[in-house]
Amino acid sequence: MSKTLFDKLWDAHLVKSVDGLDVIYIDRHLIHEVTSPQAFSGIEARGISLANPSKTIATPDHNVPTKNQHLPIADPLSKFQVETLRENCKKHQVEIFDLGHPQHGIVHIIGPENGITRPGMSIVCGDSHTSTHGAFGALAFGIGTSQVEQVFASQCLLMKRPKTMRITIDGELSKGVTSKDVILHIISELTAAGGTGYFIEYAGTAIETMSMEARMTICNMSIEMGARGGMIAPDETTYTYLKDKKYAPKGALWEEAIAYWTTLKSDEEASFDREESFAAEDIQPMVTFGTNPGMGIQISQTVPETIADASFQKSLKYMDLKGGQRLEGQAIQNVFIGSCTNGRIEDLRAVAEYVKGKQKADHVKAMIVPGSKQVEMQARAEGLDKIFTDSGFELREPGCSACLGMNEDKVPANEYCVSTSNRNFEGRQGQGARTILASPIMAAAAAISGKIVDVRKFI
């Protein structure tokens, strides 16, 4: 029988089925300081230990400062949470990439860059952006803390099999249009709830020609349309990225792995529960105007006028924007470049290329937070840090930072922030903060111009 990539991965991880639910085996469990402490307490209260500590990897990312990481954390609650992670890892023999460790960083950045994330794996984390790892042809999805505890206890999860959707994007992206614009475009078309209940496979020539970094940005935001996860079939691009990564299989094992990975792509005849398709040529640079990621428009468009909808109006009021207005030309005060969506080296390179020799607008605070220590070191090695500093951007140390404002990196109330992160929810970047999601080059261009611009006019 013909199978989709998703079917092959799901079936390969099926331990057994019971009452319409499936027991799914988890190959890799990534944990961080915010959603794991209660799960550790949970197994301790049950008097059991981790079923398979060697399959779990920890890193503190959500709640860490992005300045002076060598000093003790100032916020006592954050400090306690990070220390709790350390203690739990020690007690339960879990490997941790702690602050200052060369492999420290945002959990969804360090998995791929170290070869911990690999095709054919099932990967979970108590974080909704776990879908990022699907870019490698892995079954990857975010879970709640009770499920973190389930994986600790049994290395398995009890799941209802999701439906499958394929989103095909064919064609060539225009200059100035990035994978971030592709995913924001898709979400704006399918809505913030449009993918709920589905596992999405992204396919088509536009996806096939993308780098791994670009593919990760797409899969990362699958959750923003409610999807359980996103995935892309592994191919030469995937193998080239993974080869020789620290944890990637080596020698004969690598050959064996490739032989298996090449069998994973969806069969020609395989059918999906739902199919959607987009033409790459129709996609323009995107910006969001509202308070969920589905509320996005092409830069050349105006904010929709939907007067009857109270939730829509509440959202516009929060953003202090009006139906019918353009975002192009809108003054902004902050730019945030980073997060598990766009905090990779390719993103930093794109920003550096744009800002080189230019100066940020005086009234804009522009912050670049690398997704990991490796990204930071690579940026420094390539001299990007100097380009950023010369242009008035501040390069920080790795962490989730202003994507969710759990640490000190918050956007002040009533100020706009053009952000390369994934969510524009009310208060997401700080109480009263107004987030406009965009690609790294759109964010860089906004920082230089001091307002939202169409980056295509400047490249």
Q: Is 186 in the site for other proteins (CB under 8 A)?
A: no
> How many whole angstroms separate alpha carbon 64 and alpha carbon 202?
33
Q: Is 269 in the site for other proteins (CB under 8 A)?
A: no
> How many whole angstroms separate alpha carbon 84 and alpha carbon 251?
38
- Give the single-character DSSP code of 436: E
Range 227-266, binding other proteins (CB under 8 A)? 227-228, 249, 253-254, 256-257, 260
Nearer to other proteins, 284 or 429 (CB): 429
Strands 286-288 and 296-298: antiparallel
Nearer to other proteins, 21 or 459 (CB): 21
Rounded to a whole number of angstroms, the minimum distance from the CB of residue 174 to other proteins is 30
Rounded to a whole number of angstroms, the minimum distance from the CB of residue 397 to other proteins is 19
Q: Is 144 in the site for other proteins (CB under 8 A)?
A: yes
- Residue 275: in which H helix or E strand, if any? strand 274-279
Range 96-135, binding other proteins (CB under 8 A)? 118, 120-121, 126-128, 130
CA 10 to chain CA centroid, Å, is 22
Rounded to a whole number of angstroms, the minimum distance from the CB of residue 230 to other proteins is 13
Query: How many other CB atoms sit within 10 Å of the CB of residue 253?
Result: 10
The number of residues in the chain equals: 459
Range 43-62, binding other proteins (CB under 8 A)? 46, 48, 51, 62
Residues 6+ positions from 121 with CB-CB distance below 8 Å: 27, 28, 133, 136, 138, 139, 140
Range 189-208, binding other proteins (CB under 8 A)? 192-193, 196-197
Range 372-431, binding other proteins (CB under 8 A)? 404-406, 413, 423, 425-428, 431
Query: How many other CB atoms sit within 10 Å of the CB of residue 216?
Result: 33
Residues 6+ positions from 154 with CB-CB distance below 8 Å: 51
Tokens of 156: 């398995």
Tokens of 346: 């390719």
Nearer to other proteins, 206 or 321 (CB): 321
Q: Annotate each residue in 311-330 with x if it binds other proteins (CB under 8 A) or - if it does not, as one string.
A: x--x----------------
> How many whole angstroms separate alpha carbon 399 and alpha carbon 416?
21
Rounded to a whole number of angstroms, the minimum distance from the CB of residue 193 to other proteins is 4
- Determine which residue in the list 155, 178, 298, 421 makes contact with other proteins, applying CB under 8 A: 155
Rounded to a whole number of angstroms, the minimum distance from the CB of residue 15 to other proteins is 5
Nearer to other proteins, 73 or 351 (CB): 73
